[in-house]
């Protein structure tokens, strides 16, 4: 084992953290749905929301409600009713929020996106928080999405229409529990207008037809569309796929198995009792645990404010952060896991942890994840070694593997 991981103490994260007014999903109340297809260079996409504190001192600073109050972190039981309206922000909170917006605006205009994941200042700002008013622009910066944008390509890809997987995508979107939530109403509105998740995925699959479809794909696309205009979301999605997770969806790839094995090793070091119960006694495969997490980037698993904070750090840190989140979830529901008697119960608990089991605020959640003593560089080295080992094993089993590479089909100008 070449990386050290120490199980952190949950109790120290029960102390109050600063208000997470900057970690909610971008509200779209003031946006015209008709502007969602605007391209990255379009003047119809505002740099900040009209109600941003950086624009008006009279901003209400409305946030998505959080589950707090009488809930006790880690205790099982029905959640308390969620407040329909968050308490008003104090002037000092508004000032802090505005300062964070201005810092991000300054960085976005002065720092090249290609260097974003190498700059300590970017990570420092990520830890301080990402205002929802600029979050999709920050994500575009972290992924260097605009560098991939070719004007007119998305429109032409959309015109190609349906793909062989269209029916399956539509089924997952129509019947998926995450898409049925009230928070995702905007996605249903986009679908009714002929755009949205299905159209974006069709465009992507028209360009990259060799992708192995998994239900996590529409969830990732849906999360992007909650924040970004459709064409911007398309190029951010392409960048996320190419930079981080495309091997999960490539036919013949073993990357999911490799990362799942890394998670299982880390779990054995972090919590031997849970690892033995799940992986040995119950015989649950690591991929059964990790595939729904990693292939959806935890969309549908975590509440929106916790999810957006997960993505903020994942887009900078990469795959090791996904392992950290998984280990944290195991810690949050540890007692319930040890009481489970079936694989189905275990997987349901891990893939949909009760909100009451999570830390009281998204910032507590981030602090806990970062406290896990996992050496990211060692994880990356282990990935390379394990991937090479798996490839050698595969070559021994299949002496004549296909050397075909993934194809990309761009429309002609």
What is the reported pLDDT for 147? 87
What is the reported pLDDT for 52? 45
- The conformation of residue 113, written as its DSSP 8-state character, comes to G
| CA–CA gap between residue 402 and residue 395 (Å, rounded) | 10
User: What's the pLDDT band for 184 if we cut at 50, 70, 90?
Assistant: confident
**Least confident segment among 22-31, 241-250, 274-283, 339-348:** 22-31
Longest dimension (CA), the chain: 68
User: Of 244, 270, 295, at which residue does a domain stop?
Assistant: 244
DSSP state string for 301-363: TS-HHHHHHHHHHHHHH-HHHHHHHHHHHHHHTHHHHHH--SHHHHHHHHHS--GGGS-SSHH
What is the reported pLDDT for 228? 93
Collapse the DSSP code of 235 into the 3-class scheme (helix H, G, I; strand E, B; otherwise coil) and give the result. Answer: helix
Quote the domain boundaries for residue 371: 255-397
Same domain assignment for residues 342 and 296: yes
Residue 19 pLDDT > 50: no
Whether the model pTM is above 0.85:
no
For residue 186, the domain's CATH number is: 1.10.8.270
User: What's the pLDDT band for 87 if we cut at 50, 70, 90?
Assistant: low
| CA–CA gap between residue 36 and residue 231 (Å, rounded) | 8
Residue 76 pLDDT > 90: no
For residue 336, the domain's CATH number is: 1.10.472.80
- Give a yes or no: residue 261 inside a domain: yes
Same domain assignment for residues 237 and 191: yes
What is the reported pLDDT for 42? 41
Highest mean pLDDT among 41-45, 113-117, 273-277: 273-277
Same domain assignment for residues 375 and 351: yes
Question: What would the pLDDT profile of 212-235 be if each residue is shown by its tens digit?
Answer: 999 999 999 999 999 999 999 999
| CA–CA gap between residue 240 and residue 318 (Å, rounded) | 10
User: Of 244, 275, 293, at which residue does a domain stop?
Assistant: 244
User: Of 214, 244, 274, at which residue does a domain stop?
Assistant: 244
Average confidence score pLDDT of the chain: 79
* Nearest C-alpha neighbor of 235 from the set 334, 147, 314, 155: 147
DSSP state string for 188-227: HHHHHTT-SHHHHHHHHHHHSTTB---THHHHHHHHHHTT
- The conformation of residue 49, written as its DSSP 8-state character, comes to -
Selected residue with higher pLDDT from 142 and 194: 142
Question: What would the pLDDT profile of 328-338 be if each residue is shown by its tens digit?
Answer: 999 999 999 99
- Give a yes or no: residue 306 inside a domain: yes
Selected residue with higher pLDDT from 276 and 3: 276
Residue that is written with structure tokens 């409600």 in the block: 65
Number of domains in the chain: 2
Percent of the chain with pLDDT over 90: 54
- The dihedral over CA atoms of 307, 310, 316, 317, expressed in degrees to the nearest 10, equals -150
User: What's the pLDDT band for 40 if we cut at 50, 70, 90?
Assistant: very low
- Give a yes or no: residue 264 inside a domain: yes
| CA–CA gap between residue 234 and residue 146 (Å, rounded) | 10
Residue 178 pLDDT > 50: yes
Q: Which two tokens stand for residue 4?
A: 């050290």
User: What's the pLDDT band for 193 if we cut at 50, 70, 90?
Assistant: low
């Amino acid at each position: 084992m070449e990386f050290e991981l120490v199980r952190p103490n949950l109790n120290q994260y029960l102390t109050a953290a600063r208000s997470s007014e900057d970690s909610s999903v971008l509200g779209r109340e003031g946006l015209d749905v008709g502007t969602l297809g605007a391209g990255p260079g379009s003047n119809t996409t505002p740099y900040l929301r009209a109600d941003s504190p950086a624009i008006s001192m009279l901003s209400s600073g409305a946030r998505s409600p959080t589950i707090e109050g009488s809930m006790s972190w880690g205790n099982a039981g029905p959640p308390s009713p969620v407040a329909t309206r968050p308490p008003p922000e104090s002037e000092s909170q508004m000032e802090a929020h505005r300062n964070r917006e201005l810092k991000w605006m300054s960085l976005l205009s002065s720092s090249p996106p290609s260097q974003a994941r190498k700059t300590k200042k970017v990570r420092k700002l990520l830890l301080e928080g990402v205002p929802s008013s600029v979050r999709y622009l920050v994500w575009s910066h972290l992924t260097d999405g605009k560098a991939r944008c070719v004007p007119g390509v998305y429109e032409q890809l959309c015109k190609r229409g349906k793909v062989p997987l269209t029916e399956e995508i539509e089924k997952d979107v129509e019947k998926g529990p995450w898409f049925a939530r009230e928070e995702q109403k905007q996605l249903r509105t986009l679908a009714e207008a002929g755009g949205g998740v299905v159209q974006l995925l069709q465009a992507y699959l028209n360009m990259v037809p060799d992708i192995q479809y998994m239900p996590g794909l529409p969830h990732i696309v849906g999360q992007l569309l909650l924040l970004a205009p459709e064409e911007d979301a398309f190029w951010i999605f392409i960048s996320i796929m190419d930079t981080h997770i495309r091997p999960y969806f490539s036919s013949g790839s073993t990357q999911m198995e490799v990362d799942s094995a890394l998670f299982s090793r880390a779990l054995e070091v972090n919590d031997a009792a849970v690892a033995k119960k799940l992986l040995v006694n119950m015989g649950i495969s690591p991929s059964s645990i990790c595939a729904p997490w990693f292939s959806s980037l935890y969309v549908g698993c975590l509440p929106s404010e916790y999810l957006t904070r997960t993505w903020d750090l994942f887009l900078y840190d990469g795959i090791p952060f996904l392992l950290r989140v998984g280990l944290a979830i195991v810690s949050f529901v540890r007692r319930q896991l040890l009481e489970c008697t079936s694989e189905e119960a275990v997987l349901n608990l891990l893939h949909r942890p009760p909100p009451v089991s999570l830390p009281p605020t998204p910032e507590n959640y981030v602090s806990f994840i970062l406290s896990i003593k996992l050496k990211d560089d060692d994880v990356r080295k282990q990935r390379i070694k394990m991937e090479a080992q798996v490839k050698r094993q595969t070559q021994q089993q299949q002496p004549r593997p296909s050397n075909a590479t993934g194809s990309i089909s761009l429309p002609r100008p």
